[in-house]
Structure 1
Amino acid sequence: MKNTLPTLLLLFLCLTVDAQKIDTVFLDKNSTELISIEGANKYKVKHYDKRGKRLLKEELYSKANVLLQEINYKKDKKDGHYYYKSLQNGTETIGTFSKGVKVGTWYTNNLSGFNLYYDEFDNSGNEIGRFSKKEVPGYVGTLKGIEVKIQSSPRYPGGPPAWGNFLMNNLKYPKEAQQRGEEAIVIIRFLVNKDGSLEDFKVINQETPATLQKAALDVVRKSNRWVPATINGHPIDSTMDIRIVFRL
């Protein structure tokens, strides 16, 4: 880490001098700004317009370069994709702002990408409600008036480690997207049938670059068969949301 932060600092300073649009702030564990990298626990990268006056995006990273938060701005208000990772709670939150307020569906997942619950907001930022995903392990609800318990969620065979290996071997970062500097977290929703087959693939966050959407869809389709969710030991059809991260 001693070599990483100075390298990053040099990179960001060079970008700042050349384009006047990126600034880097180092923070201690209490999020207090530091004047040097000494004692830095995390760092924040701020992206400005070409004149260096209006904030466009803000990213927060751990000292190990793990993305903890991403906020996009438009006309000085939060607008567009939002991402937050809590290492302490083991969760991540993904949603969309519009003119400074939360809109649409906001997902809270565990760090393996499995959805725990989601919140719905109207176009004015009013919360419609919080809904538990029925494929979450331990969820208790009713089915035709009978109390049931979901005992397992759909999963890739072999669990998160196997899924990570699959992505490493099969996910292709489009060259044209790399050349354009495109980055995104693409959220794919699909149906895991009770026989493990997959169908009904769609991108949830349509504001992401089209080339990255296609790459994410291609790799999820290629994953072929999953282990289905079960109710009391019996396989069922269930939806699955999973995120594919593209970072340069």
Structure 2
Amino acid sequence: MKKLFITLSFVLIGIFSVNAQTNEPVYEKTDVTAEYQGGMTEMFNFIGKNLKYPKPAARANVSGKVFVKMIIEKDGTISSPEIVKGIGFGCDEEVMRVVSLMPKWNAAQIGGKVVRSSMVLPVMFALEKGKKTK
């Protein structure tokens, strides 16, 4: 039996950028960081339940981190996910699939005002050592 190990953390980059579609800034540094509803533990649970190790990655014994950048909108929805660093073998697509399933987050705030924010979410793929997949 193979085991999937997932590690997650957040990386903040820059100050803000302006999204061409809404003309509203997207902040990377905020007073209150956007948070998955229920916190990190619930996010780990969600990803753990929904993320599947891609068969091509398992067959090739591929492991590593996929970094996905996403915008957390004012209403908490995730938009504009993009892989900023991938590992291939179906892992990048799997992270995009799971991010698209995420429920609403608690939006970020600056000065008590809800703002759009972006973050990079690293998702680790690792097979249990010594286990081969067919």
TM-score range, shorter chain: 0.7 to 0.9
* TM-score of the aligned structures, taking structure 2 as reference length: 0.74
Which residue identity is paired with 2:49? N
Q: Which residue of 1 aligns with 2:85?
A: 205
Alpha-carbon shift at residue 210 of structure 1 (Å): 4.4
Residues 178 and 112 (structure 1), Cα distance of their counterparts in 2 relative to 1, 3 Å cut? closer
CA drift at 1:199:
1.1
Structure showing greater relative contact order (alpha-carbon pairs closer than 8 Å, 6 or more residues apart): 2
TM-aligned CA distance change 1:221 to 1:190, over 3 Å: same
Give the equivalent residue in structure 1 for 2:75. 195
Equivalent residue in structure 2 for 1:219, among 88, 98, 109: 98
> Partner residue of 1:161?
41
Answer with 1 or 2: which has the greater Rg.
1
Q: Which residue of 2 aligns with 1:113?
A: 9
| Aligned-partner residue type, residue 72 of structure 2 | V
> Identity over aligned residues, as a percent?
26
Indicate yes or no: 2:110 matched with 1:231.
yes
Secondary structure at the counterpart of residue 67 of structure 2:
strand
Give 2:42's aligned amino acid.
A
Q: CA shift at 1:224, angstroms?
A: 2.7
State the AA in 1 paired with 2:91: L
Structure 2 unaligned blocks of 5 or more = 1-6, 17-26, 128-134
TM-score by length of 1: 0.42
Conserved in 1, the CA contact under 8 Å of 2:69 and 2:121? yes
Where do 1:10-29 residues align within 5 Å?
A: none
Give the SS at the match of 1:181. Answer: coil
Higher strand share: 1
Amino acid at match of 2:10: F
- For the Cα contact (< 8 Å) 1:189–1:202, is it kept in 2? yes
Return structure 1 stretches of 4+ with deviation > 2 angstroms. 131-136
Deviations 1:187-226 (A, max 9, x none): 00111110111111110014x2140000111111111311
Any stretches of 5+ residues in structure 1 without a counterpart? 1-110, 119-130, 137-149
For residues 122 and 85 of structure 2, what CA distance do their matches in structure 1 show?
Answer: 10
Q: Is the 8 A contact 1:135 1:154 kept in 2?
A: no
Q: Residue by residue, what CA displacement relative to the aligned partner does 1:98-135 show, whole Å, maximum 9, x if unpaired?
A: xxxxxxxxxxxxx851224x5xxxxxxxxxxxx45754
Pairs aligned (count): 112
* Structure 1 vs Structure 2 CA RMSD: 2.2
- Is the CA contact (8 Å cut-off) linking 1:184 and 1:212 kept in structure 2? no
